[in-house]
Amino acid sequence: FEKDDRIGGLMRYGVPDFKMEKIHIDRRVAQMEAEGTRFRTSTEIGKDIKWDDLRARYDAVLICTGSTVPRDLPIPGRRYRGIHFAMPYLTQSNKVAAGDTVERQITAKDKHVIIIGGGDTGSDCLGTALRQGAKSVTTLAIGVQPSEQRDPKSQPWPTHPMLFDVSSSHEEGGERKFLASSVEFLADEDEHVTSLRLARTQIMPDGTRGPAPGTEEEIPADLVLLSMGFTGPQRDTLGQLEHIGFTPRGTVARNDQFATAVDGVFVAGDAGRGQSLVVWAIAEGRAAAAAIDTYLTGSTELPAPVTARTLALRA
């Protein structure tokens, strides 16, 4: 069951075509349909179908709703028009690329664009804005610019190094600013954003960060895209599941076998792991399938079943 009109989740509507053509999703969906998988789109569990009805109909349910609640930026002027979360912007662009008509589409054409957040989603926004004909695109990151080489002391092999990343979108254009703390949005008489006041990030001895006094500047902004990560899955409908629990990080709580506190209900992917890469979603989906097979039949012949804890340690 999928609440969107097409199958694919963030790979469908969050990743632009210039990064991954959707033919790869379509081919895999066709393969899964041929194998017997039934897809039901435009169906939101908790609204179109109640959770109790779903559980009464099926012996096992796997929650794979992703981590979709965006992290907000509560600074003065946040309510002004022209300030949007990244995902609606990317989703609309992907729908248009698929041939759909989107009324009042958020577009970067002929605008000064600011992207707040320097991760993969911000990079996708950058590439999209450049293709839409933005006047300028500036990406802001609150932290320091990562090193171009691994530090053997703080990031010894085989830990994953935090290195300076230059994506294909960054190579195409735009400006990147590090140690940039957003202070306030400014707007015109119609309350549409016109600029952003920012300051150099000051890192305190205890690790907290904030704007350094006396370093403020203003940069033009006709469109602001908030791309600062996600805080967990949507809880409004999940709350219908009695005894369902959440971790301090906001993800759905589970044990090593991907099982939640609700009997017969499992969770995999970003909904249980937190925002991550698609390779982890694939790995967890396969491992959760083995766990559900064991739950239903007492054993499994699915290949290489691993636990949620093992996958977490591998990360």
* Fold agreement between 44-68+231-314 and 83-226: yes
Q: What percent of the chain is predicted at pLDDT more than 70? A: 98
**Residue 56 confidence (pLDDT) above 90:** yes
**By mean pLDDT, which of 26-40, 282-296, 297-311 is the weakest?**
297-311
Strand-pairing partners, residue 186, are 195
- Residues 275 and 281: beta-carbon distance below 8 Å: no
What pLDDT score was predicted for residue 315? 60
Predicted structure pTM score? 0.91
Q: Which residue has the higher pLDDT, 58 or 208?
A: 58
Cβ neighbours of residue 26 under 8 Å, at least 6 residues apart? none
Q: What is the strand order of the sheet 136-140 is part of?
A: 83-85, 223-226, 112-116, 136-140, 175-177
Conformation bin of residue 40: beta by default, left when phi > 0, alpha when psi is -120 to 50: beta
Q: What percent of the chain is predicted at pLDDT more than 90? A: 81
What pLDDT score was predicted for residue 313? 66
Strand-pairing partners, residue 11, are none
Domain 44-68+231-314: which topology? FAD/NAD(P)-binding domain (3.50.50)
What pLDDT score was predicted for residue 194? 98
Of 195, 191, 192, the residue nearest 182 (C-alpha): 195
Of 258, 315, 254, 252, the residue nearest 286 (C-alpha): 258
Mean pLDDT, to the nearest integer, of 7-19?
95
- Specify the amino acid at residue 197: R
- Residues 121 and 276: beta-carbon distance below 8 Å: no
CA angle 137, 140, 144 (to 5 degrees): 140
Average pLDDT over the chain reads 93
What pLDDT score was predicted for residue 314? 65
Cβ neighbours of residue 117 under 8 Å, at least 6 residues apart? 86, 139, 140, 141, 226, 227, 228, 229
Q: Where are the domains of the chain?
A: 44-68+231-314, 83-226
Mean pLDDT, to the nearest integer, of 110-127?
95
**Residue 199 confidence (pLDDT) above 90:** yes
What pLDDT score was predicted for residue 303? 80
**Residue 137 confidence (pLDDT) above 80:** yes
**Residue 251 confidence (pLDDT) above 80:** yes
Q: Looking at mean pLDDT, say which of 139-153, 187-201, 268-282 comes out highest.
A: 187-201
**Residue 304 confidence (pLDDT) above 70:** no
The β-bridge relationship of strands 180-187 and 193-203 is antiparallel
Distance CA 45, CA 2 (A): 8
Which pair of tokens denotes residue 15? Answer: 């990743």
Which pair of tokens denotes residue 291? Answer: 């766990």
Helices 120-132 and 86-97 pack at an angle, to 10 degrees, of 50
pLDDT range class, residue 305, cuts 50, 70, 90: low
Class of the CATH-defined domain 83-226: alpha beta
Mean pLDDT, to the nearest integer, of 242-248?
92
Other beta carbons less than 10 A from residue 226's beta carbon: 24
What pLDDT score was predicted for residue 140? 97
Mean pLDDT, to the nearest integer, of 101-105?
96
- Residues 196 and 225: beta-carbon distance below 8 Å: no
Distance CA 286, CA 268 (A): 9
